[in-house]
Amino acid sequence: MQISEFKALVSSHKLKAVNFIESGCGPMVVEVEYEGGKDLIKNSDGAVFTCLNVTQAYDLCHRAGVHEANLVQVTPHDETCAGVVMDYHRDSIPLKF
């Protein structure tokens, strides 16, 4: 999902949640949950948009008109022990900005 599509979801009120997914071994990605599915934010080339810190993720969401998200911290051990789908909301930290 590109940033323009993210903004369109926000303006059409179809956005369910935004998750900042952070792995201890890599950069943070922004996952968007919406009516009908979920996707990662991507740049114009189709590559996943990565953030070096929470401030960059805040700025991305702020430009789209979003002021809350969930911080999901995934450890390598969690990734190896998890099933096909992880329940992010169980262990997430709600953020408002």
| pLDDT at residue 79 in the model | 54
Output the CA–CA distances (angstroms, integers) from residue 31 to 37, 85, in the order listed: 11, 14
Structural domain for 23, as ranges:
3-96
Tens of pLDDT, residue by residue over 11-22, are 999 999 999 999
| pLDDT at residue 72 in the model | 92
All residue ranges of the chain with pLDDT < 70 are 76-90
| pLDDT at residue 82 in the model | 59
Dist. CA 35–CA 17, nearest whole Å: 10
User: Which residues are registered as beta bridge partners of 42?
Assistant: 2, 48
Tens of pLDDT, residue by residue over 22-39, are 987 789 999 999 999 999
> How open is the CA angle 92-93-97, to the nearest 5 degrees?
135
